[in-house]
Amino acid sequence: MKTRTILFTALALFALVVSACAPAAASSPAAETSTLSVVGTGTADLKPDIAYIYVGVHTELPSASDAMRENNAQTQRVIDALTNFGIDAKDIRTTSFSIWPFDKYDPATGASTGEKYYAVDNTVYVTVRDLDKLGSLLDTVISAGANTVNSIQFDVADKDAALKQARADAIADAKTKAQELADAAGVSVGDIRSITFADSQYYPVYEGRGSGGGGDAASAVPINPGQLTFTVTVNVTYELK
């Protein structure tokens, strides 16, 4: 009885080993579908109707408290000038405030004078919705005490429709390119396998720095917003037949 049991177990193990080592039944995977990937572009040229600017006050004094006090007062004059000019309070936002000590150096020799000063910076972010008055606004804030004006960035308030059309143009451009390549290769374009896209929006930036304290109100700062070009790029992969 024991011998029969051992023999049966051995046969079972042998069968398992043989089945494990036997090659899997040959399957015939479907032939991999050939594809064609192309890049299409679409653009929209728009006239800016809005601007974003950083306006700030920089103060340096030997006393930290005096530097903060003077900076606060000067910044408040700038904010008052903005609101009096007609900028809505919701379009004026403080973005940074900093204070730090530094050593004074002789500009001629580069040697330290032994004096400790404190620098205070206060910067507000302003949305300007009337570009015709942008130059006059810059003169106004500089006259009010702003001594840093940086990164004037132009934009279009409502560009959704233009971007939608640019995306459609990009898809059409990709389809045209795919058809031309397929015709040249003697094949046919099939269904779309995948689409990816990216919006590339060029914002011209005017970099400036005011000197503060009494600008000439008779001559507005010349600012030309020009034209904005928004580019949409799509990557489309087609099946080939």
Per-residue model confidence as pLDDT tens for the chain (241 residues): 544 544 444 444 444 444 444 454 444 445 578 999 999 999 999 999 999 999 999 999 999 999 999 999 999 999 999 999 999 999 999 999 999 999 988 888 888 888 999 999 999 999 999 999 999 999 999 999 999 998 889 999 999 999 999 999 999 999 999 999 999 999 999 999 999 999 876 655 555 544 444 444 435 667 777 889 999 999 999 999 9
Cβ atoms of residues 125 and 54 within 8 Å: yes
Say if domain 49-156+205-214 classifies as CATH 3.30.70.2970. Answer: yes
How many CB atoms neighbour CB 154 within 10 A?
A: 24
User: How many degrees, rounded to 5, is the angle at CA 204 between CA 200 and CA 208?
Assistant: 145
pTM of the model: 0.68
The DSSP symbol for 49 reads -
What are the structural domain ranges in the chain?
Answer: 49-156+205-214
Query: What is the distance between the alpha carbons of residues 123 and 107, in angstroms, rounded to a whole number?
Result: 27
Query: Is the CB of residue 156 less than 8 Å from the CB of residue 76?
Result: no
Token pair recorded at residue 168? 């459609």
**Token pair for residue 183?**
């015709």
pLDDT at residue 207 in the model: 53
The most distant pair of C-alpha atoms in the chain lies apart, rounded to whole Å, by 118
